Every structure is written in structure tokens, then in C-alpha cells.
């Protein structure tokens, strides 16, 4: 897991980049709340991407999708590339209703 986190840092600008360190730290700390169990699974990639998302729609990408996904799926870590599964993701993280869905009818 630490190798994946290190690769996120490298992909976001390297250890001399305060922005890379800050963003990766934010993703790491907040991913702990989303993760359950005692195993490191591919779900942790989805957790990082969920936290990185900026529009409540993980399926259209996140600001750092490629950097995060590449870090977790590099050959040295042996994890397959991750694509969010709409059904599995919906069970873990209920969708946020859109303004249209909650607007009163006329």
C-alpha cells in the first residue's frame, strides 16, 4: 500500500512538491474512513478516486484520475487498472440527489 501512495506522490509532482504531498496526504487520511476490513483490496483505488472527485460523479473521471489509477495499477504493484463499477459503487456510497431530483413540482 505504501508503494501505491508513494507512486501517487510521484505522479502528482514528486516529493519536492508541496501540492503533491498535501493532496496525497488528504486522499490517504480520508480514505481510511471509507475502507472497511483488514485487507488491502482494489477497492482502495475507488476510495481514493471517490475522495478526489469534484462533481459527485466518479464515472466521468476525477481531477487526478490517471495519476491515482496509474499509481495503484502499475506493474510493480500487480493491481489491475480500475474502472468504477456503478453497481458496486452505488451500494457503498449512495448517490447524491441532483437539484432536479429534489426540486418541487409545479
Q: CA nearest 5: which of 89, 77, 85?
A: 77
Instruction: Say yes or no to pLDDT of 97 above 70.
Output: no
- 78 pLDDT band (50/70/90 cuts)? low
Tell me which of 21-30, 81-90, 92-101 is least confident: 92-101
Q: Cα(47)–Cα(73) distance, rounded to whole angstroms?
A: 14
Q: CA nearest 45: which of 19, 77, 17?
A: 77
pTM: 0.68
- pLDDT tens by residue, 3-56: 889 999 999 999 999 999 999 999 999 998 887 777 777 788 889 999 999 998
Amino acid at each position: 500500500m505504501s508503494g501505491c501512495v508513494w507512486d501517487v506522490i510521484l505522479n502528482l509532482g514528486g516529493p519536492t512538491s508541496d501540492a503533491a504531498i498535501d493532496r496525497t496526504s488528504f486522499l490517504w487520511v480520508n480514505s481510511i474512513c471509507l475502507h472497511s476490513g483488514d485487507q488491502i483490496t482494489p477497492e482502495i483505488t475507488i476510495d481514493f478516486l471517490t475522495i478526489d472527485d469534484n462533481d459527485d460523479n466518479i464515472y466521468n473521471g476525477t481531477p487526478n484520475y490517471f495519476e491515482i489509477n496509474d499509481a495503484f495499477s502499475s506493474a510493480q504493484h500487480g493491481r489491475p487498472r480500475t474502472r468504477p463499477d456503478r453497481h458496486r459503487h452505488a451500494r457503498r456510497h449512495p448517490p447524491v440527489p441532483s437539484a432536479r431530483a429534489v426540486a418541487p413540482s409545479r
